[in-house]
Amino acid sequence: METAEQIRDRLLARFPGAPVAVVANPGPGAQHSLLLGASHAADLARFLRDDPGLRLDFCSNVTGVDWLDREIAEAAKPAAPDPAGAPAMEAGPKAARIQPGYLEVVYHLYSMALKHGPVVLRLRTGNRSDQVTVPSLTPVWRSCEFQEREVFDLFGVTFAGHPDLRRILMWDEFKDHPMRKDYSEPDDYEWEPTPHGEVLPKARRHYPAAPAATAAKEGPAP
Amino acid sequence: MSVSEIAPLTPSAGPTVRSVRDELHGDLLEVSMGPHHPSTHGVFRMVATLDGETVTRLKPVFGYLHRNHEKIGENTSYLSSMPYTDRLDYLCSMTNNWAYALAVERLSGQAVPERAEYLRVILAELTRLLNHTCLAGFLLQDSGASGTPLMYAFREREKILDLFESLSGSRMMCNFQRFGGCRTDATPAWLGAAASLADGYGRFLDEFEALLTGNEILMARTQGVGRLPAALAVSAGVTGPVLRASGVDYDLRKVDGYGVYPRFAFRVPLGAHGDVYDRYMVRVLEMRESIRILQEALRGIPGGPVMDPKAKIRGFRAKPGEVYSRIEGPKGEIGFYLISEGGPNPYRYRVRPPSLINLTILEDLCLGHTIADTVVILGSIDIVLGEVDR
Amino acid sequence: MLGTGLLQGLRVTARNLVGSFHDPKRFVTTQYPEERTKLPEAYRNFPFLVSESAEDPMGTLRCVACQICEKECPPQCIYIEKSRDKKPDANGKMQIFPAVFDIDTSVCMSCQICVEVCPFDAIEMDQVFELATTNRFEGLLLDKHALAKPNSYFHGIHPTEAAAVDGRLAAARKASEEKARAAAAAKAAPKPAPAAPAAAPAAPGAEAPKPSPPAP
């Protein structure tokens, strides 16, 4: 099977100017992936499915990943020495660069016809708040239908072109997206107290004032 | 039924995407085969719109058993996630464990000793036997043969569960595979017990098939019901016996050749029609092939350790990277996608659930059939809600 | 003829029905609780703390409150508080002991990871499953008094594993004693070059991976 670079070159030959890049995967797994831009994603996916050399007709897995904003601290530049001989001023504050976060959808493709794989595709959203739409690949591979619904439900990525985009695991009226890294669970849901239950004191704030007798029966406090 | 030719895939057959009609006709009845139902294999809900008794629309609703397994995986160390994988497809804990251990081993480049690979194959094939036996029993139970085939199946399954109990300490939640091998070694007495079970299983299957395979009522209820075309199966990402019953030759034990499976000679049964009866028969034939693999593996298991002595269990950290690795579980392709940032916990922990993805085609299969057939079709797809919802 | 499949099936059912009166392979029900099946040795259900002696369970606990099991427990059902002072343990060495050691058995999933990671073989798996109680919180929260059981009990339920653990601990103790003796001999000897220790000291199970005992 071709490597990720070879597939990228063929894609660029067929769709010149399409946003395709190879994302290297460190570690022994070495499953390098192709980062696709939103504009051509569906056409590129269809090409990968129908191309006689690849025949990637089986979309095995669709995953959502949440990448938070990252702070990348850069080393501060040393201050220039004063020509008058005064003691050197302290270096300025460290320039911290924020790499904005985004949501990512990863597709693992295999070929049932030619029995090879995987080819990994990645689609990234603009940011985590308002630009969260990516094109849906359900018209290309039917198996994305439920899995993209799950990514929508748990991460909040909207898939343009999905035939039936609604929540799948959480109930329909649920707000928020649980698998995001900054999701904070509500502090008043029903919970079994365990020796480590920090939830119990959080939940107690929502209860009416409990009498002293009930508090004594609860067992050892964490 | 004999092993059929592979149906050629037609490249031009694209996926069919059903469009959702939101208007409700006045004469259609919407029935919720609700989460509490004895035949839905767990807390699973099907909202069926019926025209008389014929299904015109069917929406599966699930999430009632959602236990945020993936979020727990992000907050738990690699070792401590192993018991949670038991509880995904709770009937097949040994194969879930193996899939996760394989993913972590591929992420970190960990080697596995040969005896452990043979032991994993033995346990996986035992799991396949007990899962398919369970499925045949439950399919008949849901169809109305109230209890008899199920109890015969469970009587046989108990023998395999006793084997698991004497090896790992627990019947179902085995927590047995580790990164670099298996937790404990199997004694010669255990291997002898497994060998006698494998030798006797063929006789049990003969009796079970005498009860079921030629049964006219079963054939009338399952033949021609829920036909799955091969092109739709491939596009919908269906894997496992459901896919092979539609004629597609894709078994990960042959395609990926993970573990020591390339050493064993076994056939992959394929179906010709893709209906419920074919899915049942493919599973029965797979059981017979599993017995052959078991007997070969038990004869050929080498000595040596079952755990790589250099493997680190506690405080395990993987180098940064990601991996997607999959095995042929009894229900289909179960895969784990792990992203590691070098810490003690994975950054992203994803389970590829075969039961959920096999449900993509549930509506397509049930349309046009009666409501009674939906139970049989759902039974033949073989779902476990622990895996669908995670 | 239509119906041969049904008749064949009825023959199977009849064979099972008649066989259940005389063939133990056909009738497999155990009349619990009057009869009980013998559990295999490897069976595990809920952990317990090992004490060296039955007469003084609290004073001879092997546990030194290192809290490794607490960290590794997947559902976080173990709660440990270290003691402020040290007490002599079964070997006479001054050790911290757990002031509080609670396991919430309503949360514990008997996964055995605490047993695997314990460097001191202080926690092992019990086999009790008849633990029904009327109080959901205190009844199922076991403290160290309820959890401490003697090593003789451990030998009773898991003989092979207990023998392996005892062997390992005895070897570790012997190795550390020899190392101490060699170090004392080296200090007492007038020669500047220290004498080589008699036996290579083995770490007392802290870093080495535990060789797992074979199941029957």
CATH of the domain at A1: 3.30.460.80
Distances (CA, A) of C71 to B104, B158, B315, B389, C113: 20, 35, 11, 27, 10
Coil, strand, or helix at residue B79? helix
Residue C138 pLDDT exceeds 90:
no
Neighbours of chain A (3+ CB pairs under 8 A): B, C
- Residue B289 banded pLDDT, cuts 50, 70, 90: very high
| Least confident stretch, A51-55, A65-69, C90-94 | C90-94
* Cβ proximity of B92 and B328 under 8 Å: no
* Cβ proximity of B164 and B94 under 8 Å: yes
Q: Is A110 inside a domain boundary?
A: yes
Q: Angle formed by the axes of helices B148-168 and B188-212, to 10°?
A: 170
Q: What is the DSSP letter of B184?
A: S
Q: Do A49 and A8 belong together in one domain?
A: yes
Q: Do A104 and A199 belong together in one domain?
A: no
Enter the ipTM.
0.86
Distances (CA, A) of B320 to A5, A93, A132, B101, B336: 21, 30, 26, 17, 16
Mean per-residue pLDDT for C83-95?
A: 80
**What does the pLDDT read at residue B360?**
92
**What does the pLDDT read at residue B234?**
93
> Which residues of chain A make contact with C98, given a CB cutoff of 8 A?
none
Q: Do A59 and A146 belong together in one domain?
A: yes
- Optimal mutation site among A46, A63, A67, A172, interface B, most CBs of chain B within 10 A: A63
Q: Is A167 inside a domain boundary?
A: yes
**What does the pLDDT read at residue C113?**
92
Beta strands in A40-196 (DSSP E): 58-67, 70-73, 96-99, 102-111, 116-124, 133-135, 158-160
Tell me the residues of chain A between 32 and 91 that have a Cβ less than 8 Å away from chain C: none
Selection from B259, B126, B91, B115 nearest residue B187 by Cα: B115
- Name the minimum distance, in Å, from the CA of B32 to any CA of chain C: 33
pLDDT tens digits for C164-216? 999 988 898 888 888 888 888 888 776 655 544 444 444 444 444 444 444 43
Q: Do A134 and A198 belong together in one domain?
A: no
Q: Do A38 and A107 belong together in one domain?
A: yes
**What does the pLDDT read at residue B162?**
93
Q: How far apart are CA A37 and CA A49, in angstroms?
A: 17
pLDDT tens digits for B295-325? 999 999 999 998 888 887 777 888 888 999 9
Q: Do A123 and A193 belong together in one domain?
A: no
Q: Do A139 and A206 belong together in one domain?
A: no
Instruction: Please report how many Cα atoms fall inside a 13 Å half-sphere around the Cα of residue C124, on the Cβ side.
Output: 33
Mean per-residue pLDDT for B186-203?
A: 93
**What does the pLDDT read at residue A216?**
40
Selection from A1, A24, A40, A13 nearest residue A123 by Cα: A40
- For the entire predicted model, the pTM comes to 0.85
Q: Is A1 inside a domain boundary?
A: yes
**What does the pLDDT read at residue C141?**
84
pLDDT tens digits for B338-360? 999 888 999 999 999 999 999 99
Q: Do A111 and A63 belong together in one domain?
A: yes
Structural domain range at position A154: 1-68+100-178
Q: What percent of chain B has pLDDT over 90?
A: 65
Per DSSP bridges, beta strands A158-160 and A133-135 are parallel
Mean per-residue pLDDT for B8-27?
A: 44
- Name the minimum distance, in Å, from the CA of C59 to any CA of chain A: 23
CB contact under 8 A, C212 and B190: no
**What does the pLDDT read at residue C136?**
72
Chain B, nearest residue to A141 by Cα: B235
| Least confident stretch, A54-63, A92-101, A114-123, A143-152 | A92-101
Note whether C194 contacts B: Cβ–Cβ < 8 A. Answer: no
Q: Is A113 inside a domain boundary?
A: yes
Q: Do A150 and A111 belong together in one domain?
A: yes
Average pLDDT, chain C: 82
Structure-model confidence comparison of residues B311 and B21, the more confident one: B311
Mean per-residue pLDDT for B195-217?
A: 91
Selection from C101, C104, C95 nearest residue C144 by Cα: C101
Q: Do A194 and A165 belong together in one domain?
A: no
Q: Is A201 inside a domain boundary?
A: yes
Q: Do A40 and A56 belong together in one domain?
A: yes
Note whether A194 contacts C: Cβ–Cβ < 8 A. Answer: yes
Q: Is A6 inside a domain boundary?
A: yes
**What does the pLDDT read at residue B135?**
92
| Least confident stretch, A87-96, B66-75, B194-203, C146-155 | A87-96
* Cβ proximity of B307 and B178 under 8 Å: yes
**What does the pLDDT read at residue C211?**
43
> Which residues of chain A make contact with B341, given a CB cutoff of 8 A?
none
Residue A165 pLDDT exceeds 50:
yes
**What does the pLDDT read at residue A194?**
59
Residue A203 pLDDT exceeds 50:
yes
Q: What percent of chain A has pLDDT over 90?
A: 28
Domains: count for chain A: 2
**What does the pLDDT read at residue A201?**
65
Q: Do A173 and A192 belong together in one domain?
A: no
Average pLDDT, chain A: 79
Residue A199 pLDDT exceeds 70:
no
pLDDT tens digits for C9-49? 899 999 989 988 888 888 888 888 898 888 899 999 999 99
| Least confident stretch, A192-196, A216-220, B95-99 | A216-220
Burial of A198 by CB count in 10 Å (0-12 exposed, 13-18 middle, 19+ buried)?
Answer: exposed
Residue B233 pLDDT exceeds 70:
yes
CB contact under 8 A, C11 and B185: no
Per DSSP bridges, beta strands B181-182 and B321-329 are unpaired
Q: Is A206 inside a domain boundary?
A: yes
Chain B, nearest residue to A108 by Cα: B324
